[in-house]
Structure 1
Amino acid sequence: MEAVAVAEKKNSMWPRIAYACGTFGHDVFYAMLATYFMIFVTSNLFSSNNPSRDAYMIGVVTTIIMVLRVAELFIDPFMGNIIDKTKTRWGRFKPWVIVGAFVAAITLAALFTDFGGLTVTNPTLYLILFAIVYFIMDVFYSAKDVAIWSMIPALSFDSHEREITATVARIGSVFGGQLVTIMVMPIVLYFSVNQNGGAGDPQGWFAFACIGGGIATLGAIILGIGTKEQESALRENKVETSFKDVFKVLAKNDQLLWIACAYLILGLGQNIVNNFNLYYFIYVIGDATKFSILGIINVVIGLMAVALFPVLTTKFSRRKLFFSSLAIMTAALILYAVSGTNVWMALVAAGLFNLPQPLIFLVVLMTITDSVEYGQLKLGHRDEAVCLCVRPLVDKLSGAITGGIVGLTAVWVGMTGGATAADITAGGLLKFQLIMFAIPVLLLVIAAFVYRGKVTLTEEEHARIVEELEEKWEDMNK
């Protein structure tokens, strides 16, 4: 491992910046897909002047998205297995990042259209084409997602070094994700012919999709040019995992499964709030232009939180950071729930809710990354992408469930089509607040109990595992 340590010391800042550019573009794309695509579907995609028909089509599209994303959960581990077996002159991961970004960007832009008016002229054909294009987009996006975050254990074996790399990457991703929050409505409204009550029109949303997809692709190319995987005996897997054993790898890595379970529960609560933020500003406060202020707030506090992560982990354990973050998010939701139409109180509450999210992401990502060596020691072979695919897999499942909740709730409370804040009834508002605030608080509490009781892979335990692997791995691969 001395050779690995020497190689790591030679790392320059450029590979880190290049990697951060890749994660920047990746989270631009993720925000477009996970948060704003459903807003486009509910507010702009269907406009037949028949509210009941439009509500039906929104329900069908929402169901298709849920079914496809859940079905693809069974594909992701095999995608990770394919990536683990990839051998090219450019490395194991970069080809998947670049190709995945390009195909996903094109197909997502297509999804931000009505396929030439088929939503009105031939709804059945539209739904068939939508399902096909969405599936293609999701497969290539997933390949990129698995590959880009699976690179972390390939760049270093040291937990602290991984934390620094992940921190730089997360700075890029936070900036990318929150830049979308800042720019989404200005871009959409600038390119829109019809303001549509502040929600823009299809032309504006398509322009937004093209710009975001271009940024994501450019970031992937920069990552491909500027990064390089570390060579090590620990990464030379002479015992490869077969397709039939992929799920056995996941099932036997108990720490990977428990952190994934806690993250899924937490992610559901987190995503419900994040996905409803713009709805809150459009349909409760009644001023979508103020939403860009939230993006600016989130960029500032998000970058601060991520930059402090390596310092915080030297003073506090990951467990303490996890529980402290959940406490802050819970307090923020209570403040948010009582903010009503007070714009500035809502902005403070939403910003406070966002503050710990990058820290939680990094705690979860580092624990999943460390589970690579945990599984390697336990099972006798190394599965980087198979293990790291769990995080995007959980994000995808959480996103699928959340997307369904958002779409169905929007129809349920009347936040669709050309509706405005004045059209939302008191009963509809109460239902919306219960979904947006009460359910997430309950989910955060459950996630805390799961993490506390089942996740035991600490930084100290990982260091012990790596030390043991150093002694055993060479003999295991002879």
Structure 2
Amino acid sequence: MDQNNTPQQPATSLGDKIKTLGGKLKVFWNTPPKNRYLNLKEILCFAGSAFGVSTLVTVVSGLITATQISETFEISVLHGPYICLAASLLGLIIQPFFGKLLQNTNTKWGKYKPFIILMAPIFAACAIAATWHPENLDESARTIYAYCTCIPTLVIWNLFNNTFYMMPAVVTPNQQERTDIWAPIGLVIGFSPTVMNVLVGFIRSAFLEQGNEAMAYRVIGFVYAAVGLALVMLLFKVRERIIVTNENKEKVGLFQGMRLILKNTPLLILSLALIVGCVRTAVELDAQIMGKLRYASNISDGLKVFSSLTLITGFAVTPNMILLPFMTRKFNNKTILIFWSALNMIGYLILGLIGVENIPQGTVSAVVLTALRFVSLFNALASLQPLMLSEIYDYQQYKTGQRLEGFIQMFAYALVLVFTNLGYVVLAYVKQGLGYEPANYFNEAVQVSDELMAIATNYFDIAFIVSAVSAGLMMLVMFFYPLTKKQHKEIVAELERRSKSEGLYDLDKTVVAAVGENATAEIAESEISGSEQDDQNADKA
């Protein structure tokens, strides 16, 4: 016995710990932890559907960018950005109507799941068509085909992707649970584009040596679209949970919704930050061309080296994904985003000032460019932004009585995308002025002329500086972002009070009564110890 005459607890064997863990997981499979809403089965289905969405979306983000459209269809450097701009403008026109449809939809399957699941096969078919480059067509025919297939693909991509990113806000009203679940799911989402970046380089290199590089896009586009479509269907097993109030059940008109979101100060400041930071990664559109020109003495080997090193740059988000639940406990979202923007600016600024042409071609370029690009890409904005928007949805409901997710999406995604593509159009004219045509670097297996190399490196230097300036401006605007952790917690409490006073609050039904048992409660703490102290620390940050 110890000095307090307390009996010593017998040491627990490894076998007993494994049995205990198995029992806890068995309970967790169907029963959420105390004060939480998702059980393990639902979390895994959510993660699987997220991987499916990411796989589908990666077909566009990895193969149908402003640069790659011009490169792979072998058309003018201006067409790729104009296609992306046309798609984003069309999306901006559609978004308010789509937002109204989302706001006024309420089915037994939820508000968002029906749209995500219905759009998935349409999106997959469009993505396959856009990557199935036709052969033996002249430039005019290739240009028409690119406009006809890429524009609808990009429009649906935007609606599909943005609608799915509303899901973290409705699977649970508990913001810390949103973060704890979404951060590891973000790792799953980030895995798909990283794998594609690795595969594309090797597959392109293999077909390049056969003189048919476009076939690589057909193979990757079809496989990714098919796999992604199958996994998206796991979303059927995920439930939506929204704190309902009488006001939020009311139908909202188009102009009324637009007027109401203008009262949302956090949304307006975040949107402005994203707009001024819209070209903060502009240089990454041409990263693959930069890699195949600078990472080795010939283009085929450069592609292989670049693809291998994407395992490093692609996982620049990984540490942040892992740390995000802990970071959000200690810091406000504003502080986290300012830190990431500063790194974004510093890495690109150093490369822009050094000059790509001043870094020796081969191993030195591969190491230096990869290392500093890793610094600039060291963030998890793709995971943090949906979490910030989930708080903004709650703020909107608190402020106006309506959540208006679809209308908010118009500002935070659709409008930002328009400015992003406007930026890419401006950069396309810079490319044209320099004589930089991505098509000149397509289907080349050995090396390009010194003139083409000099033209490319000149553009890369400019793109690094532009990206750094954009990241710096985004950082400055985020200093004015007003919504804190403490304020959001108070907002959710007020929404729950309103809902209960109206007799509409039913979220408690999602938590099984047996959760109170010790074995279940130990699976995951609903709130970390000292949460009040964490809120105080976050407010200071």
Normalised TM-score (structure 2)? 0.75
Choose which of 274, 283, 302 in structure 1 pairs with 2:284: 274
1:380 aligns with 2:401: yes
Tell me the distance in 1 between the aligned counterparts of 2:218 and 2:121. Answer: 17
**Structure 2 counterpart of 1:315, which letter?**
K
Tell me the distance in 2 between the aligned counterparts of 1:70 and 1:235. Answer: 34
1:344 aligns with 2:367: yes
Tell me the distance in 2 between the aligned counterparts of 1:443 and 1:289. Answer: 30
Tell me the distance in 2 between the aligned counterparts of 1:465 and 1:350. Answer: 39
Which residue matches 2:60? 33
Choose which of 83, 100, 106 in structure 1 pairs with 2:125: 106
Tell me the distance in 2 between the aligned counterparts of 1:62 and 1:217. Answer: 27
Which residue matches 2:422? 401
C-alpha spacing 1:206/1:441, structure 2 compared with 1 (3 Å): same
Q: Aligned-pair distance for 1:186? A: 1.9
Tell me the distance in 2 between the aligned counterparts of 1:408 and 1:289. Answer: 30
The superposition leaves residues 349-370 of structure 1 with CA deviations (integer Å, 9 ceiling, x where unpaired) of 12222222x1x33343322211
Choose which of 287, 292, 302 in structure 1 pairs with 2:317: 302
1:239 aligns with 2:250: yes
Which segment drifts farther, 391-400 or 157-166?
A: 391-400
C-alpha spacing 1:19/1:187, structure 2 compared with 1 (3 Å): farther
1:463 aligns with 2:489: yes
| Other structure's SS at 2:280 match | helix
Tell me the distance in 2 between the aligned counterparts of 1:129 and 1:276. Answer: 22
Q: Aligned-pair distance for 1:25? A: 3.2
Which residue matches 1:81? 100
Q: Is the 8 A contact 2:205 2:304 kept in 1?
A: no
Query: How many pairs align?
Result: 453
Tell me the distance in 2 between the aligned counterparts of 1:322 and 1:235. Answer: 35
Choose which of 295, 306, 326 in structure 2 pairs with 1:311: 326
Mapping for residues 439-458 of structure 1, pairs under 5 Å: 439-453=466-480, 455-458=481-484
Tell me the distance in 2 between the aligned counterparts of 1:228 and 1:18. Answer: 10
**Structure 1 counterpart of 2:118, which letter?**
V
**Structure 1 counterpart of 2:96, which letter?**
P
C-alpha spacing 1:476/1:372, structure 2 compared with 1 (3 Å): farther
Tell me the distance in 2 between the aligned counterparts of 1:73 and 1:161. Answer: 32
1:44 aligns with 2:72: yes
Choose which of 115, 119, 133 in structure 1 pairs with 2:149: 133
Q: Specify which structure has the higher proportion of helix.
A: 1
1:202 aligns with 2:214: yes
| Other structure's SS at 2:438 match | coil
Which segment drifts farther, 65-74 or 335-344?
A: 335-344
Q: Is the 8 A contact 2:280 2:344 kept in 1?
A: no
Tell me the distance in 2 between the aligned counterparts of 1:343 and 1:104. Answer: 35
**Structure 2 counterpart of 1:451, which letter?**
M
Which segment drifts farther, 327-336 or 272-281?
A: 327-336
Q: Aligned-pair distance for 1:153? A: 1.6
Tell me the distance in 1 between the aligned counterparts of 2:429 and 2:246. Answer: 46
C-alpha spacing 1:108/1:404, structure 2 compared with 1 (3 Å): farther
Q: Is the 8 A contact 1:96 1:143 kept in 2?
A: no
Which residue matches 2:167? 151
Q: Is the 8 A contact 1:370 1:462 kept in 2?
A: yes
| Other structure's SS at 1:417 match | helix
Q: Aligned-pair distance for 1:128? A: 4.8
The superposition leaves residues 16-56 of structure 1 with CA deviations (integer Å, 9 ceiling, x where unpaired) of 2322233323333434323532444333313xxxxxxx43x
C-alpha spacing 1:416/1:146, structure 2 compared with 1 (3 Å): closer
The superposition leaves residues 268-295 of structure 1 with CA deviations (integer Å, 9 ceiling, x where unpaired) of 212x032121121123445121112232
Q: Is the 8 A contact 2:271 2:416 kept in 1?
A: no
C-alpha spacing 1:305/1:383, structure 2 compared with 1 (3 Å): same
**Structure 2 counterpart of 1:219, which letter?**
L
Q: Aligned-pair distance for 1:135? A: 3.6
**Structure 2 counterpart of 1:298, which letter?**
T
Larger radius of gyration between Structure 1 and Structure 2 = 2
Tell me the distance in 2 between the aligned counterparts of 1:428 and 1:239. Answer: 58
Mapping for residues 157-172 of structure 1, pairs under 5 Å: 157-172=173-188
Q: Is the 8 A contact 1:373 1:465 kept in 2?
A: yes
Q: Aligned-pair distance for 1:204? A: 1.6
Q: Aligned-pair distance for 1:447? A: 1.0
The superposition leaves residues 413-454 of structure 1 with CA deviations (integer Å, 9 ceiling, x where unpaired) of 43433434544457524531333211111111111111112x
Which residue matches 1:324? 339
Identity %: 15
Q: Is the 8 A contact 1:278 1:288 kept in 2?
A: yes
Tell me the distance in 2 between the aligned counterparts of 1:470 and 1:79. Answer: 28
RMSD: 2.9
Uncovered stretches (5+) of structure 1, i.e. residues with no partner: 47-53
